Structure 1
Amino acid sequence: MAVARGLVATDAGMQVLWHRKPFTHVVDYDTWEEELLDDAGIVRHIETGSVVPLSTGMDGAWEFIVRWGEDPALTEAEEQHVAVKSEPYLLISETDVRVSGIEHITGNAEEDEGFAVSLPPGRWSVTTHLIDAEALGEALDFVVLIKPDRGEQHRTDVQPFDRPQ
């Protein structure tokens, strides 16, 4: 199992897992806006497996751990402090996978924010776990688990977590 970790900030209310290839043409605000300004554009990229929403829709910075491999798992302590878990999302990676604020998606690697995830090319199933960091006693807000896609149904909502009824 491989691991990456980092603090990721957003002023657009969403941190995302994404891969660069579908966004090579995004080089400025106008080209970013054409792809990702509204929910319809975001959903299109979620459905094609190029973007996975990770966060709750608030501006700020949170600590993320990403684990990937055949059977990545939460630690026992993390499992005890999961506040909510997403349904699986599809990620189709080819190269250059990152976690960043959605506003930092770009085709230009020199402008990267967030952190890299050394995920091999392939079809992946991604779940996000919101952790009660205060109860855990550790600066950890989200754990993202990535395993090979086995053809399961994938969530396509912009918000990764269902709101309580």
Structure 2
Amino acid sequence: MIELGADGGRGGVVTDAGFFALWDPAKFHEIDDFDSWESEVFDELEDHEDAGAIVSFHDADGVYQLVVRIGSATAPARLDEREARYRGTVTGPHLFVSAGAAMISGIEYVGDSQDVGLRVDLPAGRWSVVVTRIDWESEPDSRDGDGKPSPNALPDFVVVINPEDAAGADTGSR
């Protein structure tokens, strides 16, 4: 299993559109301005999701902490025990078809820049993605004395990526 992000597997990802996306840079490399983003991403979002080119998930504007776990056919990725205890909304499983890499960013950055967000080296193939919102604020001691997230606070989201046919993969069921 591979865990990605800064600071022990976490990555901060920002959105001003209230939506995040896991997307394949190879499929959106020609987007270079708002008009091309609107016609290629926004107007075609449902078709891209159905084809596995993008997985979108939402919350609100802001910076969110994410953990990305990539499993294999023999060792599927899952939520850990703490994350499962504070599991909130679960979406998926969603199909994602990788050409060899993926990005997680605010949806407004799809195709725009590969240095905004979190880059995920994901072997080419068909993957199953489950996104879990973690209710980290419900865990005791999740905030420090100043009201900020403590260093041990759970992330906002856990993105679990497994091969499409992985046995025992976490589907987000309770």
* TM-score (norm: length of structure 2): 0.78
Paired letter, 1:143 = V
1:34 deviation in Å?
0.8
Pairs aligned (count): 146
Q: Output the CA distance in 1 between the equivalents of 2:104 and 2:24.
A: 9
Paired letter, 2:161 = I
Structure 2 residue aligned with 1:106: 111
Q: Output the CA distance in 2 between the equivalents of 1:107 and 1:130.
A: 26
Q: Which runs of 5+ in 1 are unaligned?
A: 152-165
8 A Cα contact 2:97 2:124, kept in partner: yes
8 A Cα contact 2:86 2:135, kept in partner: yes
Q: In angstroms, what is the RMSD of aligned CA positions?
A: 1.6
* 2:41 maps to 1:36: yes
1:107 deviation in Å?
5.9
* 2:67 maps to 1:52: no
Q: Output the CA distance in 1 between the equivalents of 2:105 and 2:85.
A: 26
Report percent identity of matched pairs: 36
8 A Cα contact 1:123 1:149, kept in partner: yes
- Please give the per-residue CA displacement for 1:2-56, whole angstroms capped at 9, x wherever unaligned: 0112111111110111111111211111111111234xx1111101111001323
8 A Cα contact 1:21 1:107, kept in partner: no
Q: Output the CA distance in 2 between the equivalents of 1:9 and 1:61.
A: 4
Paired letter, 1:142 = F
Structure 2 residue aligned with 1:87: 92
Q: Output the CA distance in 2 between the equivalents of 1:28 and 1:96.
A: 22
Runs of 4+ in 1 over 3 A off after TM superposition: none
8 A Cα contact 1:20 1:95, kept in partner: no
1:135 deviation in Å?
2.2
* TM-score (norm: length of structure 1): 0.83
1:108 deviation in Å?
5.0
Q: Secondary structure at the match of 2:104?
A: strand
